[in-house]
């Protein structure tokens, strides 16, 4: 079965977040790369600070279920995609932890790769595979840097930082999604490419979407955020808006990872479970304003939220915290720095809707398609014989 999947000129081995769990940038790119290359997608574990809580227990149970079906070859998977769930030890803190995980992954992945009749290129969005470089039979390694894991809340930051530095030193190519991340890689002594996220404009402008019954009971207007609800959110922004709103509901949609307990005490704030990606256009249409109230932190200054261009692709007003990633689109949205500015801007846009000047500024999204981004990504990961792609820029440390 793997031989058939690997019959084309290049096979991609991708280490990343669980396929289908949430629509990451790597998954958006991979769906388009599947038109040209078979992909072996390896679901990896995270490396959170050891703790016992309900979220951790649920995640462990989910992983145990995945491991009982180590290969996912469902008919719902895109053609050419094989998803693996290798068994792994849940920690990387010590040399023994790392050696154990290296042995486990080699034992499970080597037979798969030896079944490929074509060269394999490995791409990873996570540092935890650093010990596999030089051991797996792959042509080249590419680090697709999507976050600063050394600053991510809840993660075991010290071992992640060590593994990332090893990965950066040994990978054949580096790609970063933001200028801040590119500078971080430069500080480690390596050149990198910048490739920002894309967007599927047609999806977000669709009008044939179904109503969402889970929103029916909540008072309008709806001020909506979707994404991970965690400590990156500035509760001061939300608290001030909750206090100032005369009517309406602040809706936070998405999985939760140790959110600030203060959120439970806020009036007009509703937290809903994550919705499937194809439900989000309907959520946007139900919204009066889309918001991104992130705190100004090292981790938020480094990231480039996927939802930013998704928000902008709708016809809804967008109010966001002033961060490097959002500043690039300042003419297409409202940037705020304080809770007072956030509350004022949101309430203004509830009344006024999307200004014509911001609508005009969003025309630049036409050149930001995932199709264009995937073509640039493909050239970068396949090797130096390809020219520098449109949409990617080189920086020197």
Residue 46 scores a pLDDT above 90: no
Strand partners, 84: 42, 71
3-state secondary structure of 254: coil
Residue 78 scores a pLDDT above 70: yes
| Predicted local distance difference test score (pLDDT) of residue 388 | 45
| Predicted local distance difference test score (pLDDT) of residue 341 | 98
Nearest to 325 by CA among 338, 307, 343: 307
Instruction: Give ranges for CATH 3.40.50.2000 in the chain.
Output: 2-198+369-395, 201-364
Distance of CA 87 to the CA centre of its chain: 23
| Predicted local distance difference test score (pLDDT) of residue 3 | 45
Question: Cα separation of 223 and 81, whole Å?
Answer: 37
| Predicted local distance difference test score (pLDDT) of residue 189 | 97
| Reported confidence tier of residue 208, pLDDT bands at 50, 70, 90 | confident
Strand partners, 121: 12, 140
| Predicted local distance difference test score (pLDDT) of residue 48 | 63
CB 308 within 8 A of CB 320: yes
Q: Which of 5-9, 107-111, 333-337 has the lowest mean pLDDT?
A: 5-9
- Other beta carbons within 10 angstroms of residue 115's beta carbon come to 15
| Reported confidence tier of residue 149, pLDDT bands at 50, 70, 90 | confident
| Reported confidence tier of residue 393, pLDDT bands at 50, 70, 90 | low
Residue 101 scores a pLDDT above 80: yes
| Predicted local distance difference test score (pLDDT) of residue 71 | 53
Q: Count Cα neighbours of 30 within 13 Å in the Cβ-side half-sphere.
A: 32
User: What mean pLDDT value characterizes the chain?
Assistant: 89
Q: Which CATH number fits domain 201-364: 3.40.50.2000, 3.30.1360.70, 1.20.1530.20, 3.30.9.10?
A: 3.40.50.2000
| Predicted local distance difference test score (pLDDT) of residue 152 | 84
| Predicted local distance difference test score (pLDDT) of residue 75 | 46
Return contacts of 146-150, CB within 8 angstroms, 24+ apart: 146/24, 146/25, 146/26, 146/177, 146/181, 146/303, 146/304, 147/181, 147/299, 147/302, 147/303, 148/180, 148/181, 148/184, 148/298, 148/299, 148/302, 148/303
Tokens standing for 27?
A: 């998954």
- Summary count for the chain: helices (H), strands (E): 15, 17
| Predicted local distance difference test score (pLDDT) of residue 210 | 84
| Predicted local distance difference test score (pLDDT) of residue 390 | 53
Reported as a single tens digit per residue, the pLDDT across 308-326 is 999 999 999 999 999 999 9
H helices within the chain, ranges in order? 2-5, 25-33, 54-67, 95-114, 157-170, 179-187, 201-204, 235-244, 280-286, 298-302, 306-313, 324-327, 339-352, 356-361, 370-382
- State mean pLDDT over 220-244: 97
Distance of CA 271 to the CA centre of its chain: 20
Tokens standing for 277?
A: 């990606």
| Predicted local distance difference test score (pLDDT) of residue 22 | 83
DSSP assignment of 263-301 equals GGG-TTEEEE----GGGHHHHHHH-SEEEE-B---HHHH
Reported as a single tens digit per residue, the pLDDT across 274-310 is 999 999 999 999 999 999 999 999 999 999 999 999 9
| Reported confidence tier of residue 1, pLDDT bands at 50, 70, 90 | very low
Question: Cα separation of 147 and 205, whole Å?
Answer: 28
- State mean pLDDT over 11-31: 94
What are the residues whose beta carbons fall under 8 Å from the beta carbon of 13, sequence distance 6 or more? Answer: 39, 40, 42, 109, 113, 120, 121, 122, 123, 136, 138
Tokens standing for 318?
A: 């967008």
Query: How would CATH label the architecture of 2-198+369-395?
Result: 3-Layer(aba) Sandwich (3.40)
| Predicted local distance difference test score (pLDDT) of residue 150 | 86
Residue 61 scores a pLDDT above 70: no
């Amino acid at each position: 079965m793997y031989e058939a999947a690997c019959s084309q000129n290049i096979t991609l081995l991708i280490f990343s977040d669980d396929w289908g769990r949430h629509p990451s940038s790597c998954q958006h790119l991979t769906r388009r790369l599947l038109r040209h290359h078979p992909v072996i997608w390896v679901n990896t574990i995270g490396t959170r600070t050891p703790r016992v809580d309900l979220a951790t227990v649920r995640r462990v149970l989910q992983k145990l279920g995945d491991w009982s079906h180590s290969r996912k070859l469902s008919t719902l998977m895109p053609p050419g995609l094989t998803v693996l769930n290798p068994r792994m030890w849940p920690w990387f803190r010590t040399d023994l932890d790392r050696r154990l995980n290296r042995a486990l992954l080699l034992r499970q992945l080597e037979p798969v790769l030896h079944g490929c009749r074509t060269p394999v290129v490995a791409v990873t969005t996570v540092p935890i595979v650093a010990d596999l470089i030089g051991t797996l039979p792959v042509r080249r390694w590419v680090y697709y840097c999507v976050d600063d894991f050394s600053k991510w809340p809840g993660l075991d930051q010290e071992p992640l930082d060590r593994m990332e530095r090893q990965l950066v030193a040994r990978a054949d190519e580096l790609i970063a999604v933001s200028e801040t991340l590119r500078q971080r890689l430069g500080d480690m002594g390596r050149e990198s490419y910048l490739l920002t996220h894309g967007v599927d404009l047609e999806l977000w402008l669709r009008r044939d979407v179904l109503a969402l019954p889970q929103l029916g009971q909540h008072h309008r207007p709806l001020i909506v955020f979707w994404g991970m609800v965690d400590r990156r959110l500035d509760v001061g922004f939300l608290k001030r808006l909750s206090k100032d709103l005369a009517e309406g509901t602040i809706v936070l949609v998405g999985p939760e990872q140790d959110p600030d307990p203060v959120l439970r005490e806020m009036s007009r704030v509703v937290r809903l479970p994550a919705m499937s990606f194809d439900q989000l256009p309907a959520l946007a249409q139900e919204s009066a304003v889309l918001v991104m109230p992130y705190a100004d932190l090292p981790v938020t200054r480094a990231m480039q939220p996927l939802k930013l261009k998704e928000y902008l692709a709708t016809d809804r007003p967008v109010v966001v915290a002033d961060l490097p990633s959002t500043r690039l689109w300042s003419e297409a949205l409202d940037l705020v720095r304080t809770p007072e500015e956030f509350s004022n801007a949101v309430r203004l846009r509830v009344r006024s809707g999307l200004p014509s000047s911001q609508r005009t500024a969003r025309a630049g999204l036409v050149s930001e398609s995932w199709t264009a981004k995937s073509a640039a990504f493909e050239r970068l990961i396949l090797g130096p014989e390809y020219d520098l792609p449109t949409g990617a820029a080189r920086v020197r440390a």
